[in-house]
Amino acid sequence: MTDAKDVVTSVAKRRISRRSVLASAAAAGVAAGVGPHIIKALGETPVKIGFIDPFTGTYAMQGDSEQAGARMAIAEINAAGGMLGRKVEIILEDDAADVGKATVKFHKLVEQNKVDFISGSVSSAVSLALEHASGLKGILYVDTGGHVDSVTGTHCNWTTFKVCSDTWMLASALVATLMEKFGKKWYFITPDYAWGHFLHANCLKILKQHGGEELGNALLPLGTTDFTSALIKIREAKPNVCCVLNGGDDFVNTMKQATQFGMTKEMAFGYPLAELEALAALPPVARTGWGVMEWYWQQPGNAHVAAFVEKYRKLYTKTPSARSWFGYVAMQTIAMATAKAKSLNSVKVAKAIEGMELPPDVALGPYPVAWRAADHQLLITEFVGEVNGGSAKYPDLFDVKETLAGPKLAESPAAKGCKMTYPA
């Protein structure tokens, strides 16, 4: 994998929308037309961003993609003059989706590395822990991929912003559609931690609102490898839909075993969160079902998306996923906000993010995408569709049937229980 520090991009090729949001960097003495050698002229003291993500364990695939997108963004930001005329460094730390490890890494980054900002996470439990820690330290934290609703709901904090959608948005995008297509009797497979509990509760709520019935819920620990007993019970129950809430390696193992048991020919499979990394890890015969992607690389007619995909492929020899976009958005958001605030102060940068609409070359989608001020949730687009199985080749593994704008799916901050306060 190419190191982003080796990547240089001519500022002359930067798109106009980015030049405007980084205007303060130019005002600090960085000429907008200078080429890659500009990196060497940046301020002596770098801006440091700590990035805590799982690079080992169940969610390693997603963590790898998030940091790749983040590193690509940092290379672009440095080529354009850095943040406030200073070079940006990203310091990567592996949390292995473990709360204890993530907390230790957070304190190392803040107290020893003296980072200016924190980002990352795939595990919702880790996101909640980092949100709590960032609130105590008063340092800006951009949650890339921990979906649990309480991050921007009952636990909302002025320090924390969340790129990925919450579980209510995912459930809203998929459940009613699958009920109409396949039937009202459902069985769930759920990981036993915050993400799974929230997603299951929201899916079940929507299921019941539409007259559906839950036949059972197989609640299993994160990192389970043998799903035999759960799958036997599901097969005996004969649901219309088996709704798999697992992610990462757990998802891969679930679907491999369900396919071996012949279950994918007996019932429909649904995934409120479908991810390119996990689909790519499956054998073609196990690629089946319907799901929700939070971003998808194939968007015909969108030149910004095409340019992003091409650049990412040149860097990493693979296709970007939603997780890649999450990491990219997190870094670009911080860069735009520091330019707007003309400061690295976390309070000022947080205020600058509130209400910010992403420029088209960062939003990379069919609808406007903006940071909601009241709860710090990014209202992203959901891509609903069917998994491409059989002869389909990577990365063409998903057929988008419908795109849904985030504001139409999201609960209000009040309904989520968010009460945002700032320090005096």
pLDDT tens digit string along 6-29? 333 333 333 334 434 443 333 333
Residue 422 located in a structural domain = no
Q: How far apart are CA 200 and CA 312, in angstroms?
A: 34
pLDDT range class, residue 424, cuts 50, 70, 90: confident
Which long-range contacts link 210-215 to residues 24+ away (Cβ below 8 Å)?
A: 210/175, 210/176, 210/179, 210/184, 211/184, 212/175, 212/179, 212/184, 212/185, 212/186, 213/184, 213/185, 213/186, 214/186, 214/187, 214/188, 215/185, 215/186, 215/187, 215/239
Provide the 10 A C-beta neighbour count for residue 114: 10
Mean pLDDT of 75-97: 97
Tell me what percent of the residues of the chain surpass a pLDDT of 90.
88
Q: What is the pLDDT of residue 41?
A: 52
Mean pLDDT of 74-98: 97
On whether both 160 and 177 belong to a single domain, the answer is no
How many distinct structural domains can be found in the chain?
Answer: 2
Do strands 398-404 and 382-387 pair parallel, antiparallel, or not at all (unpaired)? antiparallel
* Residue 327 pLDDT exceeds 90: yes
CB proximity list for 220: less than 8 A, separation 6 or greater: 189, 190, 191, 192, 227, 230, 250
From residue 347, give the alpha-carbon distance in Å to each of 88, 117, 156, 159, 330.
19, 11, 15, 7, 17
Q: What is the pLDDT of residue 43?
A: 62
pLDDT tens digit string along 163-200? 999 999 999 999 999 999 999 999 999 999 999 999 99
On whether both 393 and 258 belong to a single domain, the answer is yes
Contact predicate 267/184, CB 8 Å: no
On whether both 157 and 224 belong to a single domain, the answer is no
Q: What is the pLDDT of residue 44?
A: 78
Q: What is the pLDDT of residue 190?
A: 98
pLDDT tens digit string along 219-254? 999 999 999 999 999 999 999 999 999 999 999 999
On whether both 110 and 221 belong to a single domain, the answer is no
* Residue 345 pLDDT exceeds 80: yes
**Token pair 């960097």 in the structure block, residue:** 25
Q: What is the pLDDT of residue 378?
A: 98
- Residue 118: strand pairing partners: 50, 141
Sign of CA dihedral 48, 54, 55, 56: positive
On whether both 18 and 137 belong to a single domain, the answer is yes
CATH number at residue 38: 3.40.50.2300
Give the chain's mean pLDDT.
91
Residue 423 located in a structural domain = no
On whether both 264 and 391 belong to a single domain, the answer is yes
**pTM assigned to the model:** 0.90
On whether both 269 and 392 belong to a single domain, the answer is yes
On whether both 55 and 156 belong to a single domain, the answer is yes
pLDDT tens digit string along 364-421? 999 999 999 999 999 999 999 999 987 789 999 999 999 999 999 999 999 999 999 9
On whether both 314 and 367 belong to a single domain, the answer is yes
Residue 104 located in a structural domain = yes
Q: How far apart are CA 91 and CA 48, in angstroms?
A: 7
**Token pair 């990412």 in the structure block, residue:** 312
**Minimum mean pLDDT range among 13-17, 101-105, 306-310, 382-386:** 13-17
Residue 339 located in a structural domain = yes
On whether both 207 and 269 belong to a single domain, the answer is yes
From residue 80, give the alpha-carbon distance in Å to each of 19, 36, 313.
8, 8, 21
On whether both 357 and 249 belong to a single domain, the answer is no
Residue 417 located in a structural domain = no
Domain span holding position 230: 168-293+382-409
Residue 420 located in a structural domain = no
The DSSP secondary structure of 172-202, one letter per residue, reads: HHHHHHHHHHH-SEEEEEEESSHHHHHHHHH
The DSSP secondary structure of 57-110, one letter per residue, reads: STTHHHHHHHHHHHHHHHHHHHHTTTBTTEEEEEEEEE-TT-HHHHHHHHHIII
On whether both 204 and 284 belong to a single domain, the answer is yes
